[in-house]
Amino acid sequence: MKKVIALVLCRGKSKGIKNKNLVNFFGKPLMYWTIKQLKDCKIIKEIYVSSDSKKILNYAEKLNVSIIKRPSNISNGNSQSEDAILHAIKKKKLNSDIIVFPQVTSPLRPKNVFCKALNVFKKNNLDSLFSANKVHYFLWKKQKKLIANYNYNNRPMRQKVNTLNENGSFYIFDSKKFVKSKNRLFGKIGSYLIEKKYSFDIDDDIDLKINKFLKK
């Protein structure tokens, strides 16, 4: 049976908010909240924090999780998360596991969300899964011409336009198949719905204020 592990990426330098992963969020560094939620799910057998920052790695050790020193060449502003995931899989030989990959910048989540999402992942024999929330937007894609996600000649009520927003709170995927695809989403893809109030990612000070307001 495949072991379930969690992989948390915490880069030292960050855009928008300086040292974002360690910013104070209700008396604790931001990364604390995601690691606490992971620890609450007993299906997850081990938690790894990958970072290029000594401060982050030292704090992760205080939380009794495993650490992975990430090379600087895959820790800059242009680096893809997939590069860091691949590095962690190879470094710790995680190529036969199920990986839970949460984003630290989404500190608010429903209770027991990781365990519940893992049950959906296993029950439906999925290869990969993303967290999502329903949105009712009139969306347009600009290619050679504008393409809408609804029939503008027969405009529906906005509430009847159902689109899934990949909110980035977390992903789950098979590590062996990830190595082949080098992408967090592949094969049989599923989603796990969470409420809109849990979908606000922290990129800047305004996002931080929104999350603090919602947590209150």
Single out the catalytic residue among 70, 155, 158, 184: 155
Nearest Cα to 8, choosing from 124, 73, 110, 92? 92
Residue type, 112: N
Q: Which residues pair with 129 in a beta bridge?
A: 172, 190
Contact 206, 146 (CB under 8 A): no
Sign of CA dihedral 137, 214, 203, 32: negative
Is residue 155 part of the annotated active site? The answer reads yes
Token code pair at residue 98: 């199920």
List alpha helices for the chain, DSSP H. Answer: 30-39, 54-62, 81-92, 113-123, 175-181, 205-215
Distances (CA, A) of 116 to 65, 70, 125, 152: 22, 30, 14, 38
Distance CA 172, CA 151 (A): 33
Token code pair at residue 36: 């606490």
Q: Which of the residues are catalytic?
A: 155
